[in-house]
């Protein structure tokens, strides 16, 4: 516990309850095939297994690759319409929560980092892509966190997919191995240092060495020279983000005065930092001459007039603007789409580049829509309730 006063800072050690003390072994794995082998072996023993992948695209690809007659992975990430995501979240809690039965727990979950956020779930076997140390520790907290009479696999071991943290690596150390991870965590030096520390320590002891692990991973003094450019770029972004945050903080003493802040419309003022701009995509389908929210199609109780706002909110998916910046509405549906947008709030209607209406039509794989990415290139959007929203380049010709 840290007490911060006017004159000094006082740190007091607090003993953890015995049931909170634990040691988790850590094993670094340097190829995906070995992770897949671990998962299949554990699934054959009816264990509860999870693999935390750093990107949604990797989640979907891994789930598709793991799907067999005996393994049907549950897919969980943020690129589902909210109504579908809530269903999956309830399913995950039922299958892997504190009150889950042995029969329910015999399953494989492939998830994005949403898994590490506030869900009280645990697994017999846990695999994860390499991430900054604090996030690795947070993910490790989902490994055998609840007391159970019997587990198919008793050993507490965290499997981490990571390139080997050698001293003579080049600047593409992570992008060659996990290209999507390189786009999520830009400070590659921190990833290298996390892998190096865990390779040396071989375990996470809670609470004894948690602070030590985080501080050691943050010490970038011996990071390979090839990765220092990424570290410097990350530090520069951090300073820029701090400046942006200060611009958007309200000065309570000055109040809402025109000359005390860089005021913009509500939709333009960010409340959280993000490396890349995102858009809110609202999924819809055509029924007769009307465009309906996806959520109203899934749950008919949301189809009433007074439920429209909730239905549209439950039909939302957040997507990076560079992946999808514009949705294409067929000419014959434009009038109906305009009527559908008319029930949105004024600022949602005016922010056409922020709130997109994606009209889906059924196909053999689920539902399909069309749009353009941030470069103006045509893309195809595929959606289903198993894998979520996927975006592919449109085929020429």
Lowest-confidence pick of 1-10, 124-133, 197-206? 1-10
> Given this model, what pLDDT does residue 116 score?
82
pLDDT value at 267 more than 60:
no
CB atoms within 10 A of CB 55: 19
pLDDT value at 332 more than 60:
yes
Q: Which residue shows structure tokens 């970038």?
A: 220
Distance CA 128, CA 185 (A): 14
pTM of this prediction? Answer: 0.88
Which phi and psi angles does 101 have, rounded to 5°? Answer: -85, 165
pLDDT value at 169 more than 60:
yes
Residue 276 confidence class, pLDDT cut points 50, 70, 90: confident
Distance CA 72, CA 173 (A): 32
pLDDT in tens, 30-64: 999 999 999 999 999 999 999 999 999 999 999 99
Torsion over CA: 269, 272, 277, 280 (sign): negative
pLDDT in tens, 75-91: 999 999 999 999 999 99
pLDDT value at 20 more than 90:
no
CB atoms within 10 A of CB 137: 22
pLDDT value at 273 more than 60:
no
Mean pLDDT of the chain: 90
> Given this model, what pLDDT does residue 6 score?
84
Task: Tell me the β-bridge partners of 244.
Answer: none
> Given this model, what pLDDT does residue 212 score?
96
272 vs 219, higher pLDDT: 219
Distance CA 111, CA 230 (A): 27
Say if strands 22-29 and 157-161 run parallel, antiparallel, or are unpaired: parallel
Residue 270 confidence class, pLDDT cut points 50, 70, 90: low
pLDDT value at 336 more than 90:
yes
């Amino acid at each position: 516990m840290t007490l911060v006063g006017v004159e000094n800072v006082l740190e007091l050690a607090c003993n953890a309850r015995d049931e909170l003390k634990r040691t988790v072994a850590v094993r670094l794995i340097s190829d995906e095939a070995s992770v897949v082998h671990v998962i299949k072996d554990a699934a054959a023993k009816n264990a509860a297994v999870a693999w935390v992948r750093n990107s949604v695209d990797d989640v979907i690809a891994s789930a598709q690759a793991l799907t067999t007659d005996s393994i049907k992975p549950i897919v969980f990430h943020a690129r589902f319409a909210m109504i579908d995501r809530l269903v999956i979240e309830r399913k995950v809690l039922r299958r892997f929560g504190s009150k889950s039965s042995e029969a329910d727990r015999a399953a494989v979950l492939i998830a994005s980092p949403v898994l590490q956020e506030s869900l009280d779930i645990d697994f017999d076997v846990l695999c994860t892509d390499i991430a900054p140390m604090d996030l690795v520790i947070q993910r490790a907290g989902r490994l055998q966190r609840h007391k159970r009479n019997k587990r198919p696999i008793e050993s507490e071991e965290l499997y981490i997919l990571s390139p080997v943290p050698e001293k003579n690596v080049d600047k593409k150390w992570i992008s060659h191995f996990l290209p999507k991870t390189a786009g999520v965590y830009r400070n590659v030096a921190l990833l290298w240092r996390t892998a190096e520390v865990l390779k040396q320590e071989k375990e996470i002891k809670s609470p004894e060495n948690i602070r030590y692990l985080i501080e050691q991973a943050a010490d970038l003094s011996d990071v390979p020279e090839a990765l220092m450019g990424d570290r410097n770029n990350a530090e520069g972004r951090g300073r820029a983000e701090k400046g942006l945050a200060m611009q958007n903080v309200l000065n309570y003493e000055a109040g809402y005065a025109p000359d005390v802040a860089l005021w913009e419309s509500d939709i333009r003022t960010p409340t959280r930092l993000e490396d890349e701009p995102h858009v809110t995509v609202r999924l819809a389908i055509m029924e007769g001459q009307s465009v309906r929210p996806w959520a109203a199609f899934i749950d008919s109780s949301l189809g009433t007039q007074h439920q429209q706002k909730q239905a549209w909110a439950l039909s939302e998916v957040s997507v990076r603007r560079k992946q999808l910046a514009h949705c294409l509405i067929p000419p014959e549906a434009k009038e109906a789409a305009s009527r559908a947008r008319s029930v949105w709030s004024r600022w949602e209607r005016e922010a056409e580049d922020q709130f997109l209406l994606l009209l889906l039509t059924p196909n053999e794989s689920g539902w399909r829509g069309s749009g353009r990415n941030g470069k103006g290139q045509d893309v195809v959007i595929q959606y289903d309730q198993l894998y979520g929203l996927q975006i592919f380049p449109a085929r020429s010709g």
